[in-house]
Amino acid sequence: MQDLLCDPDDLIVDSRHSWMNRADPRQRAWLEVSPAALQSNARNLIGRLVKGCSLMAVVKADGYGHGAVTVAKASIDGGATSLGVATLQEGIELRQAGLQTPILVLGNITDAEDLRACLHWHLMPTINDLTQLLLCESLAKDTGRKFDLQLKFDTGMTRLGYDVNKIPRLIETFNDLTEINLTGIYSHLAMANVDNGNGKANSVTEIQQKKFDFVLREFASRDKGICRHLANSAGTLRNDSLHYDMVRVGLALYGHNPLQSSPQHLDLKPALAVKAKVTMVKDVPSGVGVSYGHQFYTKRKSRLAVVGIGYADGISRALSGKISALFKGRFVPQVGSITMDQLVLDATQCPELRVGSVVTMLGEDGGKCITPQSWSDLTGSIPWEVLCGFKHRLPRLVV
């Protein structure tokens, strides 16, 4: 995928896709990303943070499918002061795009060459064990440059993170290090987005927070300049006491609230729209089977509209017959199996739909909105996965 400016006379085209120079990116199906929405969300979120707390924009997985560089720049314009990525490669891409903001690599980097690349590109690795820490010390000695890095602790996520019970050994090791610049201490919440009537989710978050506070007390003597952070989007919106010095926000930055019940009014703007064109319209009699497997039969004389987007673009086949498209603020039901490259709408009630009409599969159109949550609820997925699911074949327009 690539970013393109939406002015039709002035499309910025990624050179890796020179074929695009000859074709309108809106020929068939595409993504539209709004930096204005991202910037406004960043601003809005910062306005909710406790005093002194800053915003890390989490732009991993190509900015949740929105384009990492676009998201990073818009978030920084909105006040974000650091960026979070999952992989070394994602970090390098941002540096190569000229971004100089502090970048934390959230994933685990264990290979010496990869850690050396972190040092070279000024990317902060996340340290999860002593071996990594010692490796960083020796790499820094080799190059004569202090290694900025962050420590992650496992407070209950049971994924990455240093064992909270082994902190004395870590501190002992730390005392011998001279080339390490510890810029942050963090942990990750497992249940912050889970609404749970019996309070179990809340108590898990509480226990994680207590463990995190314990870690911070252990490191209190070296607290100078160390950024403490714990909350993802859900933690940020759920409870101010989870904010500490910084919050790491992904989903909410993209305009989606991870909490089912929002405590306060939240004005988040969805930053992504998925659009596609009608490529054929046909009138059919009642009783006609539609698409592979004839999963749908027309129940009346119908007008069907074929749209050029399918599961190879990121609209899961599991959504077949369960979703709608939006056309000028009206919902048009999708019928029959979603195929690799195309899907069919029942446009009987929407006679204005014609070849070349643009429909919105996800996002806002005419005052209505189709959310990633509405899709993920139908398939047992989550909004995060929906957003990351749009594929390379969809050109990305920055609008």
Ligand X SMILES: *Cc1c(COP(=O)(O)O)cnc(C)c1O
- Gap between the Cα atoms of 226 and 366, Å rounded: 47
Q: Which tokens is 224 given?
A: 């100078």
CB 237 within 8 A of CB 263: yes
CB of 234 to ligand X, least distance (A): 6
CB of 165 to ligand X, least distance (A): 21
232 touches ligand X (CB under 6 A): yes
- Gap between the Cα atoms of 133 and 150, Å rounded: 10
Rounded to 5, what percent of the chain is helix, strand, coil? 35, 25, 40
Looking at 141, 200, 210, 292, which residue is catalytic? 292
58 touches ligand X (CB under 6 A): yes
What character string, x for contact with ligand X (CB under 6 A) and - otherwise, covers 352-391? --------------------------------x-------
What character string, x for contact with ligand X (CB under 6 A) and - otherwise, covers 76-115? ------------------------------x---------
Nearer to ligand X, 226 or 251 (CB): 251
Catalytic-residue membership of 60: yes
Is residue 170 exposed (0-12), middle (13-18) or buried (19+ Cβ within 10 Å)? Answer: buried
Nearer to ligand X, 37 or 106 (CB): 106
What character string, x for contact with ligand X (CB under 6 A) and - otherwise, covers 16-55? ----------------------------------------
Q: Which tokens is 86 given?
A: 């999952």
DSSP letter string over 169-186?
Answer: HHHHHHHT-SSEEEEEEE
Q: Which of residues 236-255 bind ligand X (CB under 6 A)?
A: 248-251
Nearer to ligand X, 70 or 233 (CB): 233
125 touches ligand X (CB under 6 A): no
Q: Which tokens is 211 given?
A: 């463990």
CB 124 within 8 A of CB 85: no
Q: What are the backbone angles phi and psi of residue 28, rounded to the nearest 5°?
A: -135, -65
Nearer to ligand X, 28 or 60 (CB): 60
With a CB cutoff of 8 Å and minimum separation 6, the contacts of 228 are 184, 185, 186, 212, 216, 244, 245, 246
Catalytic-residue membership of 292: yes
CB of 282 to ligand X, least distance (A): 42
SS3 for 50? coil
CB of 166 to ligand X, least distance (A): 21
258 touches ligand X (CB under 6 A): yes
Of 398, 279, 328, residue with least CA distance to 1: 398
User: Closest residue to ligand X, Cβ-based?
Assistant: 250
Neighbours of 27 (CB within 10 A): 12
Nearer to ligand X, 296 or 384 (CB): 384
Q: Residues with catalytic annotation?
A: 60, 292
Binding interface with ligand X (CB under 6 A): 58, 60, 106, 188, 232-234, 248-251, 258, 384
